[in-house]
Structure 1
């Protein structure tokens, strides 16, 4: 039986973000294919390491007393050290603490690393954090036996560090949302097609301020729903975004109910995607899976994912022009065409079945030969 050990995430079932969702999907898929899968999980508190089983997946729980970034780094360290006693193939999701993976290289363990986006370019980080991420990106390239890039541009970027032959491009996957329940919108007093939606972390590189300011520059007879954890009393940027918002902008906070988020995508006029840094963004893939028409920031990352399913803006002015043009009801035929293109692109590139089968092929290719029996 082949064994896979997953490092680099907070744990499963998914409660935090894209990598956790991917790890859950991959783990369940591989168990059905006859693999033995182990996932390291970060827990709050103190005490000894424990194990449990969830849907046939072995979970190793490591309690961490520290909160925030320090706690995550400490968890990654403890998980890496503990994993030195394991056999099989290792999959590390993200390179944020890739310096620790030197231990696995010394031990002779085979480790495939998904290199995620270009974390050190994010505006929210200070000099120390950017330096840390830059160094760990290099460490991941050096210490990983093989690398996964989730976007062709990420592969191009990594190829400036290592040989292209060391990198495989596999994008992120998503679920198809073929229908939803309009009554779900009632709690927010929304009507189908009467609103557009942003679903992202409220950070500068995701263009929240530009989008909200552009939308609020004039009355729209339309709502803009902005999902995300906002703390205007603690975060200057969050306050700027909320201060720029007009009366037609709604901030419901972060929503973790999948059926609600799916309904907000499915019934929106547009999904607004302002990400400027990164590779294949999970939220954009999920928007395609819901058949959304998209307004997106104009960069190579977004254009490769959304293609003709989106119209693109470069700055606040461009974004306002797109709102002026496409929020009018006389563009319903164009929006319907964009929605069809979203669905076509999703089934062409981003279904989970497609993505997970690509991963299994790669993992089989890199499975340690002496442990494959």
Structure 2
């Protein structure tokens, strides 16, 4: 199959779940004999517009964009949708709801089959203004209308599309990254003033919907003796919120903003954590939580549906989303019951290893591609046979 990919910022991934997702599945597809072109953003790749490069067999096409908040994604997605027409792709795969606004272009102008993956309801994110929110909502409706197949990464999203649109979707989850070797001596963590197993870790972008502010308030209220709180992650288009976070942690020696971590430093900090906490109000299926679970780190999360899916059946602890008192109480219980937490972490590690594999995710995407192609071919054959019968009857 010849496949085009639209909606990812680019690969190799620097940050972002979609970019990690694409970096995992598309090289696997290439290794199985398929051809993949990924339309990326020059603002992310640092490659001039329309230049191409190879990433593990995937041809990455860097598109010029517009350096304005929220517009770069829309402009490059539109350009990718236009550029993909007439190239004889079998599949054009859009990732995320914003880029899906342009699914109408290849659907009308090309014979390729359109697949959309929803990684989360992006219009709910706080960083978007009213216009961007409306555009993403239109993208959601366009994806539902113009796609031949639609993928969702969580069971909650599958229920949403069924209830909202009566749309049948295919549930294909994401999977955790495969960590490499990290320093067994915990040198980087020690330099940060951390003690292995004695800090709580938040890993994710510092944005309102992930609620790092709630975790800071809960930690400050509890003041667990001998514990520190580490918030690791980059910022997004939410400067006011970031400034408020900085005020909250000012002069609090037990709270550390570690910034965006990558590679061996990231792996070391995750593996050294005594507890991973994700207090989000909104998630698709969080990679950071899956990674912590895979590494055997105890997990506490807000009780939103994606977290319930991952942490249910005694795989982690939950607290009421957005509720400070509930978060404080859950933190206290978690830190006071290390044996219970260790059992949950063991259960979580087994669950992730058994149910979340990039090889199976790649296979499921390819299965969907084959299905939409075969369905259209079968319909075409049926229409042709019907026309032949009608013509014979006329004669």
Q: Scaled by the length of structure 2, what TM-score is found?
A: 0.86
* 2:126 alignment partner, SS class: coil
* Contact 2:41–2:76 under 8 Å retained in 1: yes
Describe the shift of the 1:231–1:136 C-alpha distance in structure 2 as closer, same or farther (beyond 3 A): closer
Residues 10 and 48 of structure 1, relative CA distance in 2, 3 Å threshold:
closer
1:154 pairs with 2:153: no
- Listed as ranges, the matches of 1:58-137 within 5 Å are 58-87=59-88, 88-107=90-109, 108-137=111-140
Q: Secondary structure at the match of 1:13?
A: coil
| Aligned residue in 2 for 1:193 | 197
Determine the structure 2 residue equivalent to 1:253.
259
Distance 2:20 2:316 in 1: 25
Q: Secondary structure at the match of 1:41?
A: strand
Query: For each residue in 1:213-268, what CA deviation from the matched residue of structure 2 results, as whole angstroms up to 9, or x when unmatched?
Result: 01011432201100123599x7232233233333211001111x222212222221
Partner SS for 1:217: helix
Mapped to 1, the partners of 2:364 and 2:40 lie a distance apart of 25
Partner residue in 2 for 1:267: 272
Is contact 1:49-1:60 (8 Å) kept?
yes
* Larger Rg computed on CA atoms: 2
Equivalent residue for 1:235, pick from 221, 229, 239 = 239
Deviation at 1:317, TM superposition (A): 0.8
Output the CA distance in 2 between the equivalents of 1:27 and 1:90: 13
Change (3 A) 1:293 1:364: same
Q: 1:199 to 1:78 in 2, by over 3 A?
A: same
Aligned residue for 1:301?
A: 306
Out of 46-55 and 245-254, give the one that drifted further: 46-55
Distance in 2 (alpha carbons) for counterparts of 1:36 and 1:300: 36
Assess if the C-alpha contact under 8 Å between 2:66 and 2:75 holds in 1: no
The 1:29/1:324 distance shift into structure 2, 3 A limit, reads: same
Aligned alpha-carbon RMSD (Å): 2.3
CA contact under 8 A between 1:5 and 1:90: conserved in structure 2?
yes
Q: 1:240 and 1:162 mapped to 2: Cα distance? A: 38
- Assess if the C-alpha contact under 8 Å between 1:42 and 1:62 holds in 2: yes
Deviations 1:54-98 (A, max 9, x none): 322222222235343222211111111100122221111112032
**Uncovered stretches (5+) of structure 2, i.e. residues with no partner:** 378-395
Q: Is contact 2:180-2:264 (8 Å) kept?
A: no
- For residues 258 and 281 of structure 1, the distance between their equivalents in structure 2, rounded to whole angstroms, comes to 18
Q: Distance in 1 between matches of 2:352 and 2:180?
A: 12
How many angstroms apart in 2 are the aligned matches of 1:65 and 1:138?
24
4+ aligned runs moved over 4 Å, structure 1: 45-48, 176-180
Which of 169, 177, 189 is matched with 1:175 structurally? 177
Is the contact made by 1:195 and 1:223 (CA closer than 8 Å) also made in structure 2?
yes
TM-aligned CA deviation for residue 355 of structure 1: 1.9
Q: Which runs of 5+ in 1 are unaligned?
A: none
Tell me, yes or no, if the aligned pair for 2:311 and 2:317 is still in contact at 8 Å. no
Question: Matches of 2:358 and 2:277 in 1, distance apart?
Answer: 23
Residues of 2 paired with 1:104 and 1:294: CA distance? 42
1:121 CA drift (Å): 2.1
Count residues with an aligned counterpart.
364
User: Which fold has the larger relative contact order, with Cα–Cα distance below 8 Å and residues 6 or more apart in sequence?
Assistant: 1
Decide whether the 8 Å contact of 1:10 with 1:41 is kept in 2. yes
Q: SS in structure 2 opposite 1:132?
A: helix
Mapped partners of 2:99, 2:153: distance in 1: 19
Contact 1:177 1:291 in 2 (8 A): no
Assess, with a 3 A threshold, how the Cα gap between structure 1 residues 222 and 305 changes in structure 2: closer, same or farther. same
- The whole-number CA distance in structure 2 between the counterparts of 1:312 and 1:46 is 43
